[in-house]
Structure 1
């Protein structure tokens, strides 16, 4: 059953939720996340109190963002990597940032069926992307979910970007390590670099390095290594590695994870991890300010009748965006 079917609790349950989350109770964890995802004003207020209360219990997990083009095997990789990690004694939470879920509502069934090992693993927790209306809203809810999962004792958080483009930047801005998955022999090596994806990455991993694909995977990895020399690294303290692995056979997963841990140790030693997290927290604050302002604007009754006309005038070139913004703020008295 999807965690979405849980009824969001009310404010008086906060103390009980905090205690249950800290105790690692999965049912309470699901209810706490449902509360954080709720759009009701009283639930949002309660969720803020919940996250604030849990804040001292957060920050110890390793947060890993994972992206890749459709067909690269993100879900299979996360399933295999997550199973490897729980086998090593870790507790793994899998979260998704999917802009399309803002339109379709997402599907927990899809997440469960494409991660068969983890969905049955008592040491793993899978949560689909919330339906929050905007990418900013989805990201804010995912960040809150991440903190709640950390407070529940999950020491590895895998954040999957289901969409492309801006969602990749969003996930990179909420994680400690950003992993870009690539396919061998797909002819997209340089295309990936043009998209800027590689410039966000802390590591590139070429999947499907097995059987007849192995030579192609090694060739693709060599091309990425060569291309990385002409790009500025994301961090002056980390040379982006390129590895090959097979999500199907599991070969290379241990070495892949060893690089993630090495990155964490390096960034911790240099102080860059703490600096990155501080910067992310401030970005999170401002993104929530922007999202709340957008909500206030679109829900204001004095603007309800004016916004469609303003949008039409801007779209048709009758009104400049700057003047339209002036009119919106004037209507709000700002």
Structure 2
């Protein structure tokens, strides 16, 4: 507690800790928040049943803390950084203010590298309140981790689509936010072009892996015409530049695990058209599917890839 006192006794701006209804966090955080309020009159807390987890607010800055109250030192550090606007992002700060989005940081109380990543994403939220940050205990909230296919920590999910793992720094996070900046526009534009049958015209606009990633996301579009167009477009792109379609593969591999058999079947078929040796292991998982069409699609896709590899 002495460490918290030294850190928080001179905070500058009011901070409000909102404690939600999640039972495993609630009681401990109420007790901890009461102690923090004793350290500084600028710290307050409320219990709000409409909130699920814990939220730290200061002005228009907000961070959602979806972690069990194990690393309370980390939580106190968040309060300090948010209150004092303690941001040292050098020349990146103006670029950070120009973007917006959501960052989910999957961490663990037993991860030695996670505190540094939490510190970085907190500074992003402080530098630009339009960047929403949520810190999640990946081990405890397994379903959310599974939903985002988190297999290592720390992992950041930017705007629900871009995943960062390994050596994560300020530049990588900023680039992920920038990369996704025009995602919604591209998604709508590409869907329109495919719906109108303008595959050849759209093909000229797909120049990067990031562009191909958007095409991959259209493989689950509600309109059949758009889905078929996306598959045809990826096949054409692969014939011209196989490197570009690598941007769509993470989404396609994810769809191989989809709950809808038809989606799995389509994903296997397109992977057969654009896949390489590394994709075969993902298709092999479908060979034990209970659905015969999925199994047949996987067999056909594997054979197509192997034949392409033989031809060189």
| TM-score for the superposition, normalised by structure 2 | 0.26
Higher relative contact order at CA 8 Å, sep ≥6: structure 1 or structure 2? 1
